[in-house]
Amino acid sequence: MTRRVTRRVTRRVTRRVTRQVSRRVTRPVSRRASRVLITRPEPNDGPLGSAFVDLGFDVVWAPTIQVERVSSRPNAERLDQYDWALWTSAAAVDAVKPNSTLRVKHAAVGPSTAQALNERGIEAEIVGDSTSAELATMITKLDPKPHRVIYPRSALAKQVVVETLESADIAVDAPVAYTIEDGPAAAVLAAIELHVDVVTFASPSAVAGFVRAGAAGRLTNELFASLGPTTTAALRDMLRSPDIEGDTPTFASLALTTRAYVDRTRS
């Protein structure tokens, strides 16, 4: 995509999200509702926002990042050359689009990524509950030990998964499946001006995009809600500790935990 086309698309997305944000300003918010900002890149009926809507929240979508699949990403058929496929994000699953006919075994970093596989008819044989490094460590302890592992990843992914597997003499292929770009900063800033009560973060990349958009300087007393430990660590490093973290790293859990926290503090 050329720079000119990228600017044109960004302007169009910014106008669309800003119009949506402006419309939402006129909506009355009940005492129970609370206004939540979704920074995850998803459509306006996406899974995270929908989980909050179902619990009575007023939701504003303003993604701080955009995910773009790369043309050189591995295709699904290539996965069968390996013993295991490691998935550390739903974005990687969406980029590669594995299917249930494959013989390769699948490992997911957490429940949300496992759900993305499940939606494609695949049940992950290993589901972690913490970090990419923890998932890689689980693979090294398998008996028998895998010979070859594929790890479709973001262009920004750290080398900890590769290093952990290679230290256990496991051959690992780590092709880039997608890149992460900043979302429209104007839309993020417009959303902050709505005086949202809760800002949700579902990945370290979303935290970084929020900071690069200049949104941190617009905050007053908004609550931060984190999907799980990896995102919480990024928040502590780049902004501050979150007020809320999901009991488990799933969208439903984050929404439920936030609902309980808001209701408790308002009672």
Q: Taking the mean position of all CA atoms in its chain, how far away is CA 256?
A: 18
In angstroms, the CA 252 to CA 59 distance is 15
Pairing verdict, β 105-108 and 84-87: parallel
pTM of the model: 0.81
- Residue-wise pLDDT for 78-109, tens only, equals 999 999 999 999 999 999 999 999 999 999 99
Helix, strand, or coil (residue 208):
helix
Same domain, 201 and 257: yes
Check: CB of residue 177 under 8 Å from CB of residue 145. Answer: no
Determine, yes or no, domain membership for 4: no
Q: What percent of the chain has pLDDT over 90?
A: 79
**Of 121, 143, 178, which residue constitutes the final position of a domain?**
178
**Of 146, 178, 210, which residue constitutes the final position of a domain?**
178
Burial class from Cβ neighbours inside 10 Å (0-12, 13-18, 19+) for residue 24 reads middle
In angstroms, the CA 203 to CA 81 distance is 30
Determine, yes or no, domain membership for 1: no
Determine, yes or no, domain membership for 5: no
Can you give the CATH number for the domain in which 196 is found? 3.40.50.10090
**Of 135, 158, 178, which residue constitutes the final position of a domain?**
178
Domain that holds residue 101: 69-178
Check: CB of residue 223 under 8 Å from CB of residue 198. Answer: yes
Mean pLDDT of 116-144: 94
Same domain, 188 and 91: no
Same domain, 166 and 132: yes
- Residue-wise pLDDT for 131-184, tens only, equals 899 999 999 999 999 999 999 999 989 899 999 999 999 999 999 999 999 999
pLDDT value of position 32: 52
- Residue-wise pLDDT for 12-69, tens only, equals 444 444 444 433 333 333 445 599 999 999 998 899 999 999 999 999 999 999 999 9
- Residue-wise pLDDT for 166-180, tens only, equals 999 999 999 999 999
pLDDT grade for 5, boundaries at 50, 70 and 90: very low
Inform me whether the pLDDT recorded for 187 exceeds 60: yes
Based on the structure, what is the number of domains in the chain?
2
Write the CA distances from 73 to 3, 132, 248, 256, integer angstroms: 22, 20, 30, 35
Mean pLDDT of 248-261: 95
Buried b / exposed e over 52-80, threshold 16 CB at 10 Å, is: bbebebbbbbbbbbbbebeeebbeeebbe
Helix, strand, or coil (residue 58):
strand
Q: State the DSSP string of 129-183.
A: SS-HHHHHHHHHT-SSPPSEEE--EETT--SHHHHHHHHTT-EEE--EEEEEEE-
Which pair of structure tokens corresponds to residue 13? 């997305």
Going by C-alpha positions, the residue among 6, 12, 55, 65 that lies closest to residue 34 is 55
Helix, strand, or coil (residue 246):
coil
Same domain, 115 and 169: yes
Same domain, 130 and 258: no
Determine, yes or no, domain membership for 23: yes
What are the φ and ψ backbone dihedral angles of 263, each rounded to 5 degrees? -65, -40
In angstroms, the CA 133 to CA 193 distance is 37
pLDDT value of position 265: 87
